Amino acid sequence: MLGAILGDIIGSVYEYRAIKTKDIELFVPRSSFTDDTVLTVAVADWILGGDGLGGEKHGGEKHGGARLSELLAVWAKRYPGRGYGTMFSEWIETPEHQPYGSYGNGSAMRVSPVGFAFDTMDEVLEWAERSAVVTHNHVGAIVGAKATAAAVLLARHGKSKNEIRKFIESELGYDLSERLDDIRPRYQFTEICEQTVPPALIAFLESTDYEDAIRNAVSLGGDADTIACITGGIAEAFYGGVPAELAARARALLDPQILDVVDRFRAAYSLV
């Protein structure tokens, strides 16, 4: 999931900017992690069975002992002002934490740990949906989470880009036939999941390595941190990790609480 976090950090300064070029600075003084990272870490903590307070286990489930809704609220309150959506910001303050029908891309931006943690497609699709529905219980958001997590799993299992494309198209209904050069000129800022995940997937499919995937994602403009976060998790799985220099730059921008979950997750699931 470090690939997703790195994508978020690199994309953070390009959000809302229609830059439309791959020729970007990967890190600038304002580069920082956003809500995408915080909530990705919350999902990883949930899968590990954490309690959001540094606990190794909580509850009796094999995975995800603490309720994800509780962990999302705990982590978001720990890192306020990181770009959370209005509805999500209101949601974390409600004691019931009921889903609010969102069809936004928040379900996809936080789901990459699911694709790394589970080894069968049935498990991945089930847990992707579970990770989404606590807030994003609209079918469009659920499909986006499933497509992202499925792509991570398939990439981990050594499937080709063509195999990944065919699975996502046939099983989850996305059209991934367009080229980035055709999408880029008309692409505008959107937080709608079904308008975010397919371009993010195509950014990965057209890439030559991890860094190129992130440059592809950011070059679309719009919700750059989220697109790069989604692309980054898949690219990490496909290319066998994140370049060491980029990983070090990202880790330097993360605080100990986030790094603790990242490192425990990577150790638990043997990620390089």
pLDDT tens digits for range 35-79 = 999 999 999 999 999 755 554 443 334 455 568 999 999 999 999
Q: 256: exposed, middle or buried (C-beta count within 10 Å: 0-12, 13-18, 19+)?
A: exposed
Measured CA to CA, the distance from residue 191 to residue 36 in angstroms comes to 12
CA distance 194 to 140: 6
pLDDT at 12 over 70: yes
Range of the domain at 178: 2-268
pLDDT for the residue numbered 58: 38
pTM of the model: 0.94
> Mean per-residue pLDDT for 216-241?
96
* CA–CA distance, 35 with 79 (Å, rounded to integer): 8
Q: What type of residue sits at position 157?
A: H
Q: Give mean pLDDT, residues 2-30.
A: 94
CA–CA distance, 28 with 57 (Å, rounded to integer): 37
**271: pLDDT strictly greater than 90:** no
Q: How high is the pLDDT of residue 272?
A: 63
How far apart CA 180 and CA 182 sit, in angstroms, is: 5
Model confidence over 140-188: pLDDT tens digits? 999 999 999 999 999 999 999 999 999 999 999 999 999 999 999 999 9
Measuring CA to CA, how many Å separate 234 from each of 49, 174, 225, 267?
Answer: 23, 16, 14, 19
- In sign, the C-alpha dihedral spanning 234, 238, 241, 243 is negative
pLDDT at residue 104, rounded to an integer: 96
pLDDT at 216 exceeding the cut of 60: yes
Number of folded domains that form the chain: 1
Neighbouring-strand partners of residue 104:
192
List % helix, strand, coil for the chain (3-state, nearest 5): 60, 0, 40
Q: What CATH number should be reported for the domain holding residue 182?
A: 1.10.4080.10
